[in-house]
Each structure stands twice: as C-alpha cells, then as structure tokens.
C-alpha cells in the first residue's frame, strides 16, 4: 500500500467508525419488549424467579442469562497492534473490532472493557471480579512480560477460560500449518529442528505449543534481539530462560544452519537468502512479522523452490490468521462451560485446523481464490471464510475439554452439537466474503455513475482501498474535488473522473445509442443529449463497449428510471428474463425474495423461471434451496383468482427437471413458521423456506422495503439478475457499505465464467 493509498484508507476508516451510530457494536434485546407484560417478565417482578434459582445454584446463570455466550475482550492498551503503548481508551477501536469478529465468526457476544492501568496487580484485581458476568475472558494487546503474569494469575484465580490471544492465537494457527508442512515434507515431528526469531508473547507461546505437540525441547532454538537464547546467558527473564538450550550457536545465522523449520515473529528483513540456503532441503519458513515478513516468499522460493512458506499477510498463500482460532476455541469452551482453556484444547484446535486443510475444499472457497484449491505447499492453512470452521474446531476443543476434565457441562450428542454449530452462522456471510476475495483476485473496473454524490465518492474509494479494482467516477472534476475536500479527503486521490461532456468517447457512444434506438423514435440529437447528460447512459455505454466491467447507480434517481436507461443500452442474456432479487439477513437467517423490481403481475412461466434462477443464486451462496411460492392463500384456502397463477407456477415446475424443494401456493407465515407448516403434512418442504417467490411486484416491493426501513436486518439488493453485462442499481437510501457490497457483486458478475 502506497503512502497515498494508506492515507486514503485511513480517512475512509475514520469516516466508517464515525458515521451513523459511532463505533462498531450495540446491544439488542433477544426477547420481546413490546408490552407491559413483556417488561414485567423481563424485569420486575418476573426477574425475581431466575434470581432465586441462580442464588440456589450459581451454575444456572448459564441457563437463565447470557453468561454462557458472553466474552469480555479486555486490554490496557500497552501493546496495540504494531503501534505500541497507546493507552486504554485508544485501544477501544481494536477491542470493539475483536468483539465484532467474535460475533461474525462464532456467534459469541463480545463486550470490550478497557482498563486504565499499567500496574499488573491493579489490572489483575480489576479483572478477577468479572467471573460472575462473563463466560470467558479474552486478553488482548498487553505488553510482555506483564501479559504472562496477568494471564497466569487470572487463570489460577478465575473459574472461567482466560485466554491471551496475542500469545496463543498465533501459536495455534502456526502449529496447524506446521503439522501439515511436516506431513507434506515427510518429516517426523520428534526429529524436527525449529528456529524461532523473536522472544515475545507469541513466540514463547509457539515454542510451548510445538513442544507439547512433540518437538523435542533441545531442538527448539529461540533468538531475541541479542541472539540465541542459550544456557550461558545471564540476562534472561524467567519466560525466556525456560526455553534456553545448550548450544554453541550464538546468532540467528548460526541457528538456521541445518534447521528444518523457521518461525519469524520479529521484524522485516531479519532473514536473508543465505540463511535459507543453510537450512535443510524443503525448508519450512513461516515469516509472520507484520506488515512485512522477515523474508518475502519470492526471495525464499528464488533460492529454495521446494520451500513451504507462510506469512501473516492475506496477499500470499498460507496466511497465519488468528481469526481461524480464537472465535472457535471460545465457542467450544463456552459450550461445555469449561473452567479453562488448557494445552490439550489448544493442541486439539491446531490439529482440527490442520485436518480441515487436508479435506476437499468447498467450491465457494475455491471461487474466492479464483482457482481450484487443494492440500499442498500453497494450501496448508484453511481460508478464514471456510464455512466448515464453525462445525469443526469447536467440536475438537469441546471434546478435548471433556477428555481433560475441565468441562462442567459435557456434550452428550456430538452429532446434534455439530448441527447446532452449523446453524449458528449463515452461509451467506461466508459466501459474501468469498465474493469479495474472488474480486480481489480478479479486480474489475467499476463505474460509479453518480460520481458527484458524497456516498458515491466514499464508496468508490472504499472499493479501491479494499483491493477490489479501479473505480471510475462520472461527473465534473471541480464538483467531485469540492465534495472530497469537505469530507477531509485529498483531491489528489488519483481516482479516475470522467466528464461526459468533454470526453473523447462522446461520438462513439452517441453513434452506438442512435443505432440501437433509431427505430424507437430516437433522433441523433436525442442520442447526443442522452450521452452528454444522462450518466446512466454513459456508464452503461462504457460497460457495453468494454471500457468498464460493471456499473453502479441509483442514489439520485427513481429505481425504474435508472433501470429504463440501463435497458436502453444493455440487453438481457439470451433465454433469460431480467428480475430483481433481494437478500434479507437477520439473526443468522437469510431469505432470498424474488422478484422485487421488474414483473408487476408475473405469469406462471415467469414465476417458475424466477424460482429456478433464484435457487441457483442461493445454492451459489451455500444454501440448500427451499422455495415457497407465496400467496394470500394456503393451498386453496381461500380460493382466489390470483392464487391460481401461483398454483399453475408449481405445476410448471412439476414439468421441469429441477433439483430443489418447492411448493405453494402458501402464505408467508406458513412458509417461514415450521409449526404452522405442520398443519399441512402434505407440504413438500422439509423445513422453513429460504426462498420466497412473490406473486406480484406490489407485495414484493412493499414487504422488502418495509423491512429495510424498520431496521434490525441487513438488506442487500435488489440485485439485478439476467443482464448480459453487469449493472446494478442501489436504493436511494443505500449506505456506503450497501453501495460497496453491490459494487462487489456487480464486479463478481463481470468476472468471466470459469476464471
């Protein structure tokens, strides 16, 4: 990232954190709070009953409160990321971010707590009294050696898991990668020589974990800034001295000779190519310094093509990413009410992560990389958005907790537990992550047609800074620069701006539009006006000519006006109808609703076609489609004229060779409520529908926009399906995040098939 792009990214990050409700988290109620009776049950006098139950048996707090799904993310800000000692309050954005990751990846409610003291005893004294409130403690960004003392003491005092992720998170993921690297190179862990550069919290945790996995202590050589940590040194603290070895090696270069593996947790350029050449054949090099590794993968592979390399960066294969560990480790620990997270549980997590990388990779994960992924030197660690992580790692951790005797509520049926874990997270979220990753690997040029709008400018910059491709803003440079200045953004952002009135492409686009529309009453001067003044026409013309890959619009125009302009330039795919698909995400559930923008009163054939294409999108997003053809009627009651169209659509599907569940006509309450569905035992759906095919535009448009405005759920779309070239329209109320998501989907659709 260049200095200019970093400055732009930083400004966008500040705008994101400050926009709307400041920060990244909020608390929402999980029970109804609408009536006086609801409040009476939730608070006084109803709350007395669970209070008395918990008084009699404190363990029932897990049954009557959120304790069992609540983790405190705690820091004093003495080692914030790579920024150093920023203090407690400045660490809050990081701790909020960690809480968001807990929720995103493992459905754990994280609460950030910033403790304003650097005194070890004061910090311990503060945290040790929080066990009644939380199911676990995640310590974060606390400098060494204080972090060792704090974690050890709190683990001894508290009866809930205490886990310092800076130490153990990196160790667990690195250990998982090492397990697979040893497997690929045919090494026995008992014979491996491992060199670690860096002697901080993460490095010491790595040394402890690999030893517990089987590497002999004498073969683990650790270096700090003064060289090898050996028995002859008299300047070692108790944590370093625990890993001192008898050796004649004094420098990192000495230690690297004849080594099988290297873990770098230090600084950029600490390792050179001569050191790599001095290692054994097929060296294993995990250069995990951030943001720049101890040695680049390119430099390693230049002198040792058979090496296996991992880094801490997402732009290289084999990223050692803590998010693969801590959410799922806590998930497993919480679900068995573990009293601690011990070495057995960490080792189980490492082995489970390693085992997952050796399995067949789901299509959506491979799609994110733009190639078929399979276990090998460039795939020894699973991708962070692999949807199987939630159902694999917690099970391994929970089982290890039970086997080692720290589980206070053992799981009886692991198959049921696995199903419960899989249901916790919506596969759509992982699929959206996969879409973003796929676009990063195949960046696309996207036109933001309303380039003078504040939201459009911010979205375009966010799109570029996310590495998704090159944005193009349509508008006047002076107006765009003026808006950027008001936003605190530098006009020197090097973002492409096109003013249609002075562009050299005017004549080419005008001739194209005139040729398309001359038989529809359009004169040449009309075509000139459209190209010069209508930004959607210009943007769509760029896409039609291959001057851009996709376009996004909608902030300043009625949806149908934008659609009409796009359709005047871009055609539907052959054999397809254009329709709108809206995705609703709420509390781990996703609904796909079609058609929300195009067909006012669709025919049975159109409804059937929409069902088939929507099911295909849902499958691509990782869902098993269950399609409900929605009506006011439930299977003929009442028997209304419009309901017959829905019944006929089901009949049309019956004549087609489809591979998904479907039924109708049925009311939306029947489609979504399994108890109501039981009243119709003949219903073909095996569970609540996740695809609603609406009977008409009025019901589809009103219902999805009502939910959007009420809030409480994430609405994506309407996504235009069926165009030959990629174009998307956002609602006028779209946020910057909405626009970036739609732009990413537009870019994803523009990537050539099979790439």
Domain boundaries, the chain: 168-425, 439-567, 579-722
pLDDT for 185 equals 95
Set 92, 98, 193, 609: catalytic member:
98
The reply to whether 579-722 shares the fold of 439-567 is yes
Residue 222: which of 244, 205, 239 has the closest Cα?
Answer: 244
pLDDT for 2 equals 57
Residue 725: phi and psi, rounded to 5, are -120, 165
Over residues 723-739, mean pLDDT: 87
Q: What is the DSSP string of 228-288?
A: E-BTT-S---HHHHTT-B--S--SHHHHHTT-SEEEE-S-TT-S-HHHHHHSPSS-EEEE-
Taking the C-alpha atoms of 739, 741, 746 and 750 in order, what is their torsion angle to the nearest 10 degrees? 140
Q: Which of 34-48, 180-194, 358-372, 585-599 has the lowest mean pLDDT?
A: 358-372
Residue 393: which of 312, 331, 322, 321 has the closest Cα?
Answer: 331
Q: For residue 157, count other CB atoms closer than 10 A to its CB.
A: 14
98 classed as catalytic: yes
Do you find a cis peptide bond into 665, omega within 30 degrees of 0? Answer: yes
The pLDDT tens digits for 70-87 are: 999 999 999 988 788 999
d(Cα 162, Cα 4) in Å, to the nearest integer?
40
Judge whether residue 112 has pLDDT over 80: yes
Say if CB 425 and CB 105 are below 8 A apart.
Answer: yes
pLDDT for 149 equals 93
**Cα 130 from chain centroid (whole Å):** 30
- Give me the half-sphere count of Cα atoms (radius 13 Å) on the Cβ side of residue 519: 2
CATH 3.30.565.10 corresponds to the domain 168-425:
no
Identify each DSSP E strand in 280-385 by its residue range: 284-287, 308-311
Assigned token pair, 491: 């006009």
Over residues 620-639, mean pLDDT: 85
Percent of the chain with pLDDT over 90: 53
d(Cα 570, Cα 750) in Å, to the nearest integer?
14
- Contact partners, residue 66, CB within 8 Å, separation at least 6: 30, 109
The pLDDT tens digits for 359-371 are: 877 666 666 666 6
Q: In Å, what is the CA distance from 461 to each residue of 206, 289, 498, 603, 738?
A: 38, 28, 15, 42, 14
Judge whether residue 260 has pLDDT over 70: yes
Helices (runs of H) and strands (runs of E) counted in the chain: 31, 21
Say if CB 607 and CB 680 are below 8 A apart.
Answer: no
pLDDT for 438 equals 82
pLDDT for 450 equals 92
Over residues 623-639, mean pLDDT: 87
Q: Which of 262-271, 633-642, 725-734, 737-746 has the lowest mean pLDDT?
A: 633-642
- Contact partners, residue 166, CB within 8 Å, separation at least 6: 79, 139, 140, 141, 142, 147, 201, 202
The pLDDT tens digits for 448-498 are: 999 999 889 988 988 888 889 999 999 998 898 888 887 767 766 678 999
- Contact partners, residue 71, CB within 8 Å, separation at least 6: 102, 108, 109, 110, 111, 134, 135, 136, 137, 138, 330, 334
d(Cα 172, Cα 346) in Å, to the nearest integer?
6
Strand-pair partners of 75 = 114
Average pLDDT along the chain? 88
Judge whether residue 161 has pLDDT over 90: yes
Judge whether residue 1 has pLDDT over 60: no
d(Cα 225, Cα 242) in Å, to the nearest integer?
17
The pLDDT tens digits for 306-354 are: 999 999 888 888 999 889 999 999 999 999 999 999 999 999 999 999 9
Taking the C-alpha atoms of 617, 386, 749 and 716 in order, what is their torsion angle to the nearest 10 degrees? 60
Q: Which residues of 325-339 are buried (b: 16+ CB within 10 A; e: fewer)?
A: bbbbbbbbbbbbbbb
- Tell how strand 109-114 and strand 661-666 pair up: unpaired
Tokens 């996709």 belong to residue: 550
Of the pLDDT bands very low, low, confident and very high (cuts 50, 70, 90), residue 428 is: low
pLDDT for 131 equals 93
What is residue 520's DSSP assignment? G
Q: In Å, what is the CA distance from 239 to each residue of 234, 267, 470, 558, 747?
A: 13, 20, 49, 65, 50
pLDDT for 55 equals 94
- Contact partners, residue 421, CB within 8 Å, separation at least 6: 331, 390, 391, 394, 395
Judge whether residue 755 has pLDDT over 70: no
Q: What is the DSSP string of 426-476?
A: -HHHHHHHHHHHHHHHS---EEES-TTSHHHHHHHHHHHHTTS--EEEES-
d(Cα 598, Cα 471) in Å, to the nearest integer?
28
Over residues 145-154, mean pLDDT: 93
43 classed as catalytic: yes
- The backbone region for 717, taken as left when phi is positive above 0, alpha when psi lies in -120 to 50, beta otherwise, is left
Over residues 408-430, mean pLDDT: 80
Of the pLDDT bands very low, low, confident and very high (cuts 50, 70, 90), residue 400 is: very high
Set 6, 43, 501, 524: catalytic member:
43
Q: For residue 199, count other CB atoms closer than 10 A to its CB.
A: 23
pTM, 2 dp: 0.71
Query: Which of 1.10.3720.10, 3.40.50.10950, 3.30.530.80, 3.40.50.300 is the CATH number of 439-567?
Result: 3.40.50.10950
Q: At what angle do helices 326-335 and 343-357 cross, to 10 degrees?
A: 120
Assigned token pair, 704: 């999805």
Q: 579-722 has which CATH code?
A: 3.40.50.10750
Q: Which residues of 282-319 are buried (b: 16+ CB within 10 A; e: fewer)?
A: bbbbbbbbeeebbbbbebbbeebeebbbbbbbeebbbb
pLDDT for 363 equals 61
Say if CB 101 and CB 91 are below 8 A apart.
Answer: no
Judge whether residue 710 has pLDDT over 80: no
pLDDT for 50 equals 92
């Amino acid at each position: 990232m260049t200095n200019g792009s970093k400055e732009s990214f930083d400004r966008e990050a500040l705008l994101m954190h400050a926009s709307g409700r400041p920060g990244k988290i909020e608390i929402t109620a999980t029970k109804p709070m609408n009536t006086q009776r609801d409040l009476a049950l939730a608070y006084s006098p109803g709350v007395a009953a669970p209070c008395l139950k918990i008084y009699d048996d404190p363990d029932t707090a897990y049954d009557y409160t959120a304790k069992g799904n609540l983790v405190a993310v705690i820091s004093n800000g003495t080692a914030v990321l790579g920024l150093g000692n920023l203090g407690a309050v400045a660490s809050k954005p990081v701790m909020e971010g960690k809480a968001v990751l807990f929720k995103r990846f493992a459905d754990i409610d994280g609460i950030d707590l910033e403790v304003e003291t650097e005194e070890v005893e004061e910090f311990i004294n503060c945290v040790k009294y929080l066990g009644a409130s939380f199911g676990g403690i995640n310590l974060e960004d606390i400098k060494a050696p204080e972090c060792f003392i704090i974690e050890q003491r709190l683990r001894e005092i508290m009866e809930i898991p205490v886990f310092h992720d800076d130490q153990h998170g990196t160790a667990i993921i690195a250990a998982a990668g090492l397990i697979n690297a040893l497997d690929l190179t045919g090494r026995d862990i008992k014979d491996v020589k491992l060199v670690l550069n860096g002697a901080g919290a993460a490095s010491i945790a790595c040394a402890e974990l690999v030893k517990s996995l089987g590497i002999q202590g004498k073969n683990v050589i650790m270096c700090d800034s003064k060289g090898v940590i050996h028995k002859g040194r008299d300047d070692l603290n108790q944590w370093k001295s625990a890993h001192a070895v008898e050796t004649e090696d004094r420098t990192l270069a000495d230690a690297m000779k004849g080594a099988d593996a290297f873990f770098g947790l230090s600084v950029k350029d600490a390792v050179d190519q001569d050191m790599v050449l001095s290692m054994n054949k097929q060296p294993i090099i995990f250069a995990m310094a951030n943001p720049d590794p101890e040695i680049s993968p390119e430099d390693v592979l230049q002198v040792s093509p058979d090496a296996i390399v991992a880094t801490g960066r997402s732009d290289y294969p084999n990223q050692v990413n803590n998010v693969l560990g801590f959410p799922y480790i806590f998930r497993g620990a919480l679900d068995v009410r573990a009293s601690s997270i011990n070495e057995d549980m960490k080792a189980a997590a490492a082995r489970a992560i390693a085992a997952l990388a050796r399995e067949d990779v789901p299509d959506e994960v491979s799609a994110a990389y733009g190639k078929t992924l399979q276990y090998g030197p460039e795939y020894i660690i699973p991708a962070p958005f692999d949807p199987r992580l939630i159902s694999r790692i917690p099970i391994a951790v929970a089982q290890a907790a039970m086997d080692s005797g720290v589980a206070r509520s053992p799981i009886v049926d692991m198959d049921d537990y696995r199903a419960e874990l899989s249901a916790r997270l919506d596969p759509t979220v992982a699929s959206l992550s996969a879409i973003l990753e796929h676009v990063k690997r195949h960046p696309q040029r996207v036109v933001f047609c309303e380039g003078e709008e504040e939201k459009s400018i911010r979205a375009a910059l966010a799109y570029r800074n996310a590495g998704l491709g090159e944005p193009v803003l349509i508008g006047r440079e002076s107006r765009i620069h003026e808006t950027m200045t008001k936003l605190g953004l530098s006009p020197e952002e090097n973002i492409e701006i096109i003013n249609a009135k002075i562009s050299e492409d005017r004549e080419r686009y005008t001739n194209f539009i005139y040729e398309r529309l001359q038989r529809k009453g359009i004169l040449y001067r009309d075509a000139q006006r459209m190209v010069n003044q209508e930004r959607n026409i210009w943007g769509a013309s760029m896409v039609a000519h291959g001057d851009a890959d996709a376009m996004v619009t909608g902030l300043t125009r009625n949806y149908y006006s934008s659609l009409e302009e796009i359709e005047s330039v871009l055609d539907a795919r052959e054999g397809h109808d254009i329709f709108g698909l809206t995705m609703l995400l709420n509390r781990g559930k996703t609904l796909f609703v079609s058609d929300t923008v195009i067909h006012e009163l669709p025919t049975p054939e159109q409804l059937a076609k929409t069902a088939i294409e929507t099911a295909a999108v849902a499958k691509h997003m990782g869902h098993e489609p269950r399609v409900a053809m929605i009506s006011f009627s439930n299977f003929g009651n009442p028997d209304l004229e419009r309901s017959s169209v829905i019944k006929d659509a089901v009949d049309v599907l019956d004549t087609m060779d489809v591979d998904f569940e479907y039924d109708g006509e049925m009311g939306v309450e029947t489609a979504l409520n399994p108890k109501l569905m039981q009243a119709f035992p003949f219903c073909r759906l095996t569970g609540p529908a996740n695809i609603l095919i609406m009977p008409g535009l009025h019901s589809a448009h009103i219902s999805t926009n009502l939910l959007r405005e009420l809030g409480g759920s994430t609405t994506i779309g309407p996504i235009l399906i069926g165009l030959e070239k990629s174009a998307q329209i956002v609602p006028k109320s779209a946020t910057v995040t909405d626009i970036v998501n739609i732009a990413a989907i537009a870019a994803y659709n523009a990537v050539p098939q099979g790439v």
